[in-house]
Amino acid sequence: MRRPVRRALASLAALSAVLAGVAAHAAAAQVWYFADSPTYPGVRLLEIGEDGATVTSDWYGTMPAQNVRRNAQGFEFDLGNLNDNARPVRHWVAAVQGDQLTLTGDIWTSHVVQSARPATPQEQKRYRFTPTSLPPLTDLAVDGQAATPPMGWSSWNRFAENIDDKTVREIADAMVATGLRDAGYTYVNIDDGWQGERGADGILRPNAKFPDMKGLADYVHARGLKLGIYSSPGPKTCAGFTGSYGHVAQDARTFAAWGVDYLKYDLCSGEWFYRSQDEVRRGYQEMGAALKATGRSIVYSLCEYGRVDVATWGRKAGGHLWRTTGDITDDFASMTAIGLDRNPRFPAGGPGGWNDPDMLEVGNGGMSAVEYRAHMALWAMSSAPLLMGHDVRAMSAETKEILENKDVIAIDQDRLGVPGHRLRSAGQAEVWSRPLADGGHALALFNRGEQAVTLHLTPAETAQQTMALDVWAQRRVSTGDGFVLPAHGSVLLRFATGLGVSAD
Ligand code: GLA
């Protein structure tokens, strides 16, 4: 007998032994119910059937167990971790004692020890997971939104899930009072943490912190601003709130009825269902089509961390911007790793579809003003969406000055929509160039190092111009002198003449 066949037969025999053993331990219990499931990953059911075992979790749906085998206490099995980045197979142990089962194992970052009892038919019905199917791949029509990168504010970087209606209203007011709205920041985006539960009708309700979403949208609109919201193609969002899995079209209609103008759709637990490019794209396309079907103009932000070549299909899935990275943190190393190293590796975005290196950290306190200017200059040179992430109600004069600098915003929002790129590196310094619609260009000089450096521009870099606008200093400067950049510093220059790339 060939070895694989023998192995297969041996594992079948082992499985029957498991099933017999389990049956002996708890005759009635083929489906176990975990009432005290920790919120993450929310294991609910362990089902032992004729042909193996499955684990059903609130986050990840139903996962098949592998290598189910009996041991002295009950049985054990392996569970593949389907996370795209790391897929170690985790070992799980199910110890059975009469009508109680204790399950021990790991999912992704969580170590789980949970007790179960036999599931009632009602519990089985309630928690059995129904997989949904994805629509066939198609190219959605481009709709003309986001001709320039979206600008606004998002709750996540500063507030995480500690966000509520009152804070959002106050932020909207502060955006008007501080001049940020008039500088171009129009979206007020609620990130993760607003969701409650679905009703019997399947409609997703906000949680108690957001008593009236329509009222909130009206409030924001009355101030000349727009409202953004957040969901996931998975059953759970990254912070463990209800996602749109199985309710995609219904949620799109709910958002439109509230008056939502922007949706960030974050892969999160969806990565357990959608892994290949085809699946991830169809998962995003499903919501893209559902948003269009509402008839409301809703900017659609794809957040799947730059996986599976999103920049090549984001627009076709209905997206207007797509993340190119995991989450930014409020420090120079994270900001430059994303802005200088990772984001430039993606094919260029442009009008209607932008690369998104994540939300701004300007004003959150983890970087110096020098570093925040580099952050802002780099995002502007990259034609990145400018979604502020700080507490606008308590903004320093320096933060306001960085965010409201009209010339840095003009570079970001330049209607040509061609992102900049690195011209050269000089030690720890970099020179970046971006063509502009008026035929001119912008140059940015960045110093990643811990020592000050002096950079001299070449005639090619200045397009033979002897003067340029220094965007941070707000004055015209001679381009022939060396530019001194402090540690982590930047210089941003605007030239009247370009480097050979014109608006047409
Ligand atoms: C992910 C996203 C973040 C944020 C959180 C919310 O980590 O990348 O931008 O939306 O989820 O849980």
State the distance between the two ends of the chain, measured CA to CA, in whole angstroms. 71
Amino acid 42: pLDDT:
80
Rounded CA-CA distance 174/227 in Å is 15
Q: Verify whether residue 327 is a known catalytic residue.
A: yes
Are residues 61 and 272 in contact, defined by beta-carbon separation less than 8 angstroms?
A: yes
Please state the pTM of the whole predicted model: 0.90
Residue-level pLDDT at 493: 98
Q: Which contacts (CB < 8 Å, 24+ apart) does range 409-413 have?
A: 409/151, 409/183, 409/184, 409/380, 411/380, 411/381, 411/436, 411/442, 411/471, 411/492, 411/494, 412/148, 412/149, 412/151, 412/379, 412/380, 412/383, 412/384, 412/386, 413/148, 413/149, 413/151, 413/184
Interhelix angle 213-222/248-258, rounded to 10 degrees, is 50
Catalytic residue among 327, 331, 407, 438: 327
Q: How many helices (H) and strands (E) does the chain have?
A: 14, 27
Ligand 1 centroid from CA 351, angstroms: 25
Q: What is the reported pLDDT for 89?
A: 79
Q: Which residues of the chain have pLDDT under 50?
A: 1-15, 17-29, 84-86, 501-504
**Pocket test residue of 195, 303, 387 for ligand 1, highest count of atoms within 8 A of CB:** 303
* Residues in the chain, total: 504
Which value, to the nearest 10 degrees, does the dihedral of the CA atoms of residues 366, 371, 373, 378 take? -110
* Cis before 41? omega within 30: yes
Q: What is the CA radius of gyration of the chain?
A: 27
261 close to ligand 1 (CB < 6 Angstrom) = no
How far, in Å, is the centroid of ligand 1 from the Cα of 22? 41
Dist CA 479 CA 469 (whole Å): 9
Q: In this structure, which residue's CA is closest to atom 11 in ligand 1?
A: 238
- Report whether 479 contacts 459 (CB < 8 A): no
Question: How many angstroms separate the CA atoms of 355 and 314, rounded?
Answer: 10
Minimum CA distance residue for ligand 1 atom 8: 327
| pLDDT score for 12 | 44
Helix axis angle for 165-177 and 213-222, nearest 10°, is: 0
Q: Is 156 in the pocket of ligand 1 (CB under 6 A)?
A: yes
Ligand 1 atom at shortest distance from the alpha carbon of 160: 6
User: Which atom, in ligand 1's list, is nearest to the CA of 237?
Assistant: 12
Q: How many CB atoms lie within 10 A of CB 138?
A: 12
327 lines ligand 1 (CB under 6 A): yes
Q: Is 146 in the pocket of ligand 1 (CB under 6 A)?
A: no
Domain borders along the chain are 3-127, 151-412, 421-495
What are the contacts of 86-92 at 24+ separation with CB within 8 A?
A: 92/55, 92/65
Query: What separation in Å is there between the alpha carbon of 229 and the centre of ligand 1?
Result: 12
Q: Whose CA is nearest to atom 4 of ligand 1?
A: 156
Active-site residue (options: 58, 165, 266, 358): 266
For the structural domain made of 421-495, what CATH number should be given?
2.60.40.1180
Cα 387 to ligand 1 centroid, rounded to whole Å: 14
CB atoms within 10 A of CB 336: 19
Which among 312, 314, 225 has a CA at the least distance from the CA of 265? 314
Is the CB of 322 inside a 6 Å radius of any atom of ligand 1?
no
Provide the strand spans (E) within 110-235: 110-118, 151-154, 187-189, 195-198, 204-206, 226-231
Contacts 24+ apart (CB under 8 A), 333-341: 335/361, 335/367, 335/371, 335/374, 335/375, 335/378, 336/374, 336/378, 336/446, 336/448, 339/375, 339/378, 339/379, 339/382, 339/384, 340/378, 340/422, 340/430, 340/446, 340/448
Which stretches within 247-368 are classed as H helix?
Answer: 248-258, 277-293, 310-313, 332-336
Atom 5, ligand 1: which residue's CA is nearest? 238
pLDDT of residue 139: 98
Distance CA 50, CA 270 (A): 28
Q: Is the CB of 266 under 6 A from ligand 1?
A: yes
**151-412 carries CATH number 3.20.20.70:** yes
pLDDT of residue 14: 46
